[in-house]
Structure 1
């Protein structure tokens, strides 16, 4: 079943706005869990990302060979702004992004593939909806909330499914682009809980939902996957188990670093 991508993005926008509208000036200035970025910088990043879709900045990001550096530059441009200005930009442009996403996700443009910096090529609807949902989801739960001592907001199954859709698409591109001579047999990734599922990683880097024999099986929580697969924590610090050829599975886990 295909997840509702626009609904997921709307839900994450609502959660971020709910959090931001309650922040004090001191909380806005608090260092986030992303090195070098405050909570305000994190929201500025998301606002800049939404606005970029409608400006020439989109071309800079799409053609970049270092998406992290491009993101840093956009945040640097906003460092003199007040929290109200940063939040205003985010609120205004995220609303416009959702309007665009509704049109694109339901229409013939959805499957057109676009390059996204060094991450590879993706259908337009994944870039507009799934990538932006992933950005909101991970930054709010793993960079902003813990920095402020706040509990992470709830994670709806549909949202988690959209986040995983994007992450596994990026993982497939990363595996195809890199040379991993040791990746010589299929692996199975089982992500349990709301929004989870099972995927097979092929030796050529393809990631599919097709079942089949696998040299190793990795089982983990769908809710924890975004944290350790982006290297915010080591996978060994979370509930991750490997069966079958454990050495092979662990080598794969050590190589995973989804941007």
Structure 2
């Protein structure tokens, strides 16, 4: 069996998604050097940090955190863009397993009841073929032993990608609307809302405003990365 694996690797070598160098046999998706170079954030204080500051005075959230610092150019951008636009859903699993393990070690989100992603509009999901948050959310779900569901919160308006827009354009583009299909399922629940990259927080705020229509709901937020 190992011989067949070696033959397969000879013709289909695995390369680092960031630097494009060959991966060693014990490396997954990202080489050791690139992984150590990734700018980790993961604040130790989940209640007061740069992510919670984004929502101050807009909505109430219990906790918020992010894994990586997103820059206009760099390895984090390469990871996220491979996940969103090149079909590399294993990036979501890689980041979810990594962040999920860190969250479990910090023992902060142990009281959450359910994990929900920021939804894609059905047109965009049909075009892309997947929600880039699925493997990320599912991986965290397995580690934290909490259910993950994509069918409760839906996006009702379609907007073009905001990846290349500046911060002001993102803030002004608040047309995304969301609809909660089942309010009873979230009554008195602590929801963990997950997203990929947070900038102004406009989309997450819109999601939270819809979720906060539920009686007794509590909301925490985590994202793959934060773009300052």
Shorter-chain TM-score range: 0.3 to 0.5
Normalised to the residue count of structure 2, the TM-score between the two structures is 0.36
Normalised to the residue count of structure 1, the TM-score between the two structures is 0.33
Compare relative contact order (CA 8 Å, sep 6+) and give the higher one, 1 or 2: 2
